[in-house]
Chain A
Amino acid sequence: MAKHHVTTTINGEEIEFLCETQQTLLDVLRDELELTGSKEGCGSGDCGACSVTVDGRLVCSCLILGVEAEGREIETIEGMAEGDHLHPLQRKFLEHAALQCGYCTPGFLVAAKSLLEKNPDPSETEVRYWLAGNLCRCTGYDKIVHAVLDAAAEMRGQANA
Chain B
Amino acid sequence: MTSVRYEAPESVQDAVALLGGANGGGRVLAGGTDLLVQMRSGMVAPALIVDVKKIPELRGIAGNGEGFRIGAAVPGAELSEHAEVASLWPGVVEAVDLIGSTQIQGRASMGGNLCNASPAADSVPALVVAGARVTVAGPNGTREVAVEDIPTKPGRTSLAPGEFVVEFLLPEHPEGTGDAYLRMIPRTEMDIAAVGCGVCLTLDGDGVCTAAKVALGAVAPTVIVVPAAAEALIGSKIDEAALARLDAAAQAACRPIDDKRGTIAFRTRVAGTLARRAALLAAERARAN
Contacts and interface: CB of A to CB of B under 8 A. Distances in A.
Interface in A106-141: 111, 114-115, 129-134
Secondary structure at the A interface, as helix, strand, loop or mixed, is mixed
Interface in B110-163: none
B6 A67 contact: yes
Contacts of B190: 46, 132-133
A21 B49 contact: yes
Interface stretch (A29-37, A58-66, A86-94, A143-151): A58-66
Nearest to B48: A21
Contacts of B189: 129, 132
A133 B104 contact: yes
B51 interface: yes
A152 to B, nearest CB: 16
Given A48-B103, A58-B102, A60-B103, A21 B4 contact: yes
A44 interface: yes
B64 interface: no
Given A1-B5, A21-B4, A57-B106, A62 B36 contact: yes
Contact of A58 (B4, B40, B41, B103): B103
Contact of B6 (A21, A58, A114, A133): A21
A133 B3 contact: no
A133 B106 CA distance: 12
B106 A58 contact: yes
Contacts of A45: 33, 36-37, 100-101, 103-104
Interface residues of B, number: 28
A45 B190 CA distance: 11
Interface centre among A24, A45, A65, by most B CB within 10 Å? Answer: A45
Nearest to B107: A59
Given A132-B189, A133-B190, A63 B37 contact: yes
B5 A21 contact: yes
Given A24-B36, A44-B40, A59 B6 contact: no
Interface in B210-234: none
Interface centre among B32, B41, B49, B53, by most A CB within 10 Å? Answer: B32
B86 interface: no
Contact of B36 (A51, A65, A133): A65
Contacts of B41: 44
Contacts of B40: 43-44
A6 to B, nearest CB: 11
B75 interface: yes
Nearest to A56: B106
Nearest to B37: A44
B39 interface: yes
A95 interface: no
Given A1-B3, A22-B39, A65 B29 contact: yes
A4 interface: yes
B1 interface: yes
Given A57-B77, A68-B53, 18 more contacts: A4-B6, A22-B39, A44-B37, A44-B40, A46-B190, A48-B103, A54-B106, A57-B75, A59-B106, A60-B107, A63-B107, A64-B32, A65-B6, A65-B51, A111-B103, A131-B102, A133-B104, A134-B101
Interface of B: 1, 3-6, 29, 31-33, 36-37, 39-41, 49, 51, 53, 75, 77, 100-104, 106-107, 189-190
9 contacts: A20-B4, A24-B36, A44-B41, A48-B101, A60-B103, A64-B36, A65-B32, A114-B102, A132-B189
